[in-house]
Structure 1
Amino acid sequence: MSASDFLSAVRSRRTIYSLSKEIQVSEERIQEIVREAVKHTPSAFNSQSARVLVLFGEQHDKLWDLTTEILRAIVPADKFESTGQRMGGFRAGYGTILYFEDQAAVEALQAQFPSYAERFPTWSQQSSGMLQYVIWTALELEGLGASLQHYNPLIDEKVRAEWGIPETWQLIAQMPFGHPTAPPGDKEFKPLEERIKVSP
């Protein structure tokens, strides 16, 4: 793959909310993408602190059902319709990838390198962001649409109990994916001259 091919994939990756379960990619291929991404995405001090839970089918539906019920308990009834529609949109997808960072790995580095202790949580988040982006872009290359959601910490305890997640795994984000049924919306870009400086 050339740099042009890579940048084309970067341009193509977008947030897709309109999804269906009619995907043309096998679960085995999706698992392969996740394994390769988790293995090769960089992490500070090679901490390898990323953890992932992949939910397909009924397990994916269960995640968004429990999220819906948690939100129903806290969102005013007269304002819940739009929330319910959004949850239904995520549930309409084929699967969800949940991203975690193992705090045991982070704390071990803090103990080993105390002079950097306060930085390791930030570096952990940065590593998770890279992993999310790698998987998101790879899914797009397979013809799948996805979005990135953050219903943590509201759903943390339910997720931990339902899928046996270790206490040290901190939930960072959720990525519902499926077959895109509508194109992404328009995206505006700020002038690059305001965002990039090049030394003379």
Structure 2
Amino acid sequence: MSAAPASPIRVLIVDDHPILREGVAAIIELQDDMVVAGNAANGAEAIVQFAALRPDVVLMDLQMPGMAGVEAVEAIRADYPDARIIILTTYTGDAKALAAMRAGASGFLLKSSLRRELLGAIRAVYRGQRHLHADVAQDIALHAIHEQLTAREVEILQLIAGGHPNKQIAWRLGVGEETVKSNIKSIFAKLQVNDRTHAVTTAARRGIIEL
């Protein structure tokens, strides 16, 4: 067992649900090697709090009103490249995890696994390691060899999810209908699906689009 740090690990908790913040704080405060440095309810507050408190580790909710988690991670890391941030989420999708990691997050933790993994994740990230929930890591590995959807393909897929036919998608994007059909063909190939419904459900499960 590794020795506790000379001073407690200072943790900033960012989540728009007060009950979750209080529950996480209660777990942390029971530890000899950790202390809650502060709380924030959204991404904008997190940026201000980080600058004021300079915590060792941030627990950042992914989905929040206003500025969400990924944008807040990018903003904090732009000013503080050494910031250590763990994303908290209810989503298992590999696309969400990859977006968070590319933004500079050091960990990705499912809220359903907080009781089992929270403390270990905080300690690991504090030591400079990464922490990925096993199911998320498996999803990332599974899809790593597949070609990623382009921003335009994601946009089209989101419109398909909204029930828009090809002609309407073409009009909204200012492109020809054949271009839309070509993009949809590419989407099907990349997601390894055969129809629009399967494409939407697969993309939603992986966190590529929002339903």
TM-score category, normalised to shorter length? under 0.3
Instruction: Tell which structure's C-alpha radius of gyration is larger.
Output: 2
If asked which structure has higher relative contact order (CA below 8 Å, sep 6+), I would say: 1
TM-score by length of 2: 0.22
TM-score by length of 1: 0.23
